[in-house]
Amino acid sequence: MVDKRYAAQIRLPEIGISGQQRLSESHVLCVGAGGLAASVLPALVAAGVGKITLIDKDVISASNLNRQTLFLPTELGLPKVTQLATRLAAQNPSIAINPIIDNLTLENAYALSNNHDLILDCCDDYQTKLLINDTCVNFKKPWIYASALGWDGQVAMFSNSSLDTPCLRCYSSRIPINSLSCNNSGVLGASVNIVGSFQATLALQTLLQHYENKDKMYIFDLWSLQVQEFIIPYNNNCKHEQLINANYKNYQYTPLTTNELDNFHIIDIRTLTEWENGHLPAAQHVNIGSLISNPEQYLVPSKPTLIYCNQQQLSKLAVDNLRPLGFNVWWLSGGYNAYKEKQG
């Protein structure tokens, strides 16, 4: 039986019973638990999106309260994700809410993104937006970019449906590298709510597999109430296989579950005897010298490649040699020994 709370939206031909079922089975990752999240997530929870993961390391401060409207003055100093999760769970107890008190980093981005159908950019840090972009491009995951600063707002759904679809880096020439944040440029709470409403609508459209508005940028002048839209052009100089920003510290990957390894082409560079005595599922044995000298023979263009040795020194060496050549390769954090120990 369908929950009566969803009866009104089920009447919409774009949703219906099948669409409601699709929403209930959807998993969304929200990066950031501030003003945009406070606008977007109540709409998704009300619509019945089945599982939402929140990640943010920040705590509530007095300067947040004008736009982060789900927080109370009595909660200053408390983690944003836990308080936001409490509000959302109270709004709709049937939704699974998973708060993570951490920043999105290179070390956790792939594992988290892999387990979700859609990623929401609700942060105000440009480097984190690039990390979301690069992760989603590599995994062909859709994500929704959003920004609200001053009187300006921007929203776009990047579909990543093929290698010739645009990404944030295709558009980044329009965005200042030393980007501003709400803390130093100012923002009005009502402006954030407008941008968040557009982001929530795009999120629901994406989860319902309606892609009419994909890869378009919506730009708001919230003082004059003007809205512009344009199709984001694909930049031929944007190399999708080289998207990981050089400012990131390393290219290690820590899988949270064995199933996540299915998204990688896996190469074992230990000795053949060690490989025969036990290896990761579907791992191909390749000598490290052969891999570095002739990578085209062993790497699969359609998938990121995870390289591992017993610990991590040799695999890190292989990645350090292959990354500058444009290959999408990663080394297994801690190596095979750490992985087996973690698996028990």
Q: How would DSSP label each residue in 148-184?
A: EEBTEEEEEEE---STTS--HHHHGGGS-SS---HHH
**Res. 96: pLDDT tops 50:** yes
**Res. 242: pLDDT tops 70:** no
- Counting every residue, how long is the chain? 344
User: Per-residue pLDDT tens for 271-302?
Assistant: 888 899 999 988 999 988 788 878 899 998 77
Mean pLDDT of the 97-119 span: 87
Model confidence at 250, in pLDDT bands (50, 70, 90)?
A: low
User: Per-residue pLDDT tens for 7-35?
Assistant: 999 999 999 999 999 999 999 999 998 88
pTM: 0.68
- Residues 6 or more apart whose CB falls under 8 angstroms from that of 182 comprise 34, 35, 67, 124, 148, 149
Most confident of 60-74, 117-131, 186-200, 246-260: 117-131
Supply φ then ψ for residue 148, to 5 degrees.
-140, 110
Q: Which domains does the chain possess?
A: 4-231 (3.40.50.720), 250-343 (3.40.250.10)
Give the separation between CA 220 and CA 271, rounded to whole angstroms. Answer: 58
Give the CB-side neighbour count of residue 1, counting CA atoms within 13 A: 3
Looking at the chain, the whole-number percentage of residues with pLDDT higher than 90 is 35
pLDDT on residue 175: 43
Nearest to 47 by CA among 18, 10, 97, 84: 10
Decide: 62 and 76 in contact? Cβ < 8 Å. Answer: yes
pLDDT on residue 80: 87
Give the separation between CA 277 and CA 336, rounded to whole angstroms. Answer: 12
